[in-house]
Amino acid sequence: MALPSETLSLLRWRARRGLLENDLIIERFFERFADQLQDSDLEPLTVLFDLSDNDLLDLLLSRKKPEGDLENEGVHRILAMMKPVRAE
C-alpha cells in the first residue's frame, strides 16, 4: 500500500537540500517512485535525509558506499531508486 499523501508531502519537505544536485536527484526520485513508496521505506529515507548534503551526494553518485548504520537493505534499495540513470 502506498504512503498517504500527507506523509509524502512531509517527506518531500524534509528532503529539501542545500545542494541543487541533491534536490534535482531527489525530486526525480519522488516523481518516479512516490506512488510505490511504503511504510518500510520511511526509516531508510529518514536516515538518508539526516545526512549532510555532501555525504548524501557522495552516496547518490556512488563516490562512497553505505557504511555503519547505512549498511542495510532498505538504504541500498532507496539509493538504487534515487541514483541518476546514466545514458549509454
CB 44 within 8 A of CB 77: yes
Q: What is the pLDDT along the chain (88 residues), one digit of tens a residue?
A: 788 899 989 999 988 888 999 999 999 999 999 999 999 999 999 999 999 999 999 999 999 999 998 999 999 999 999 987 665 5
82 phi and psi angles, rounded to 5 deg: -80, -30
**Residue spans of alpha helices (H) in 1-88:** 5-14, 20-33, 42-49, 53-60, 73-82
Q: Which three cell numbers, joined as nine digits, stand for 46?
A: 529518514
pLDDT of residue 2: 81
Of 47, 46, 84, residue with least CA distance to 63: 84
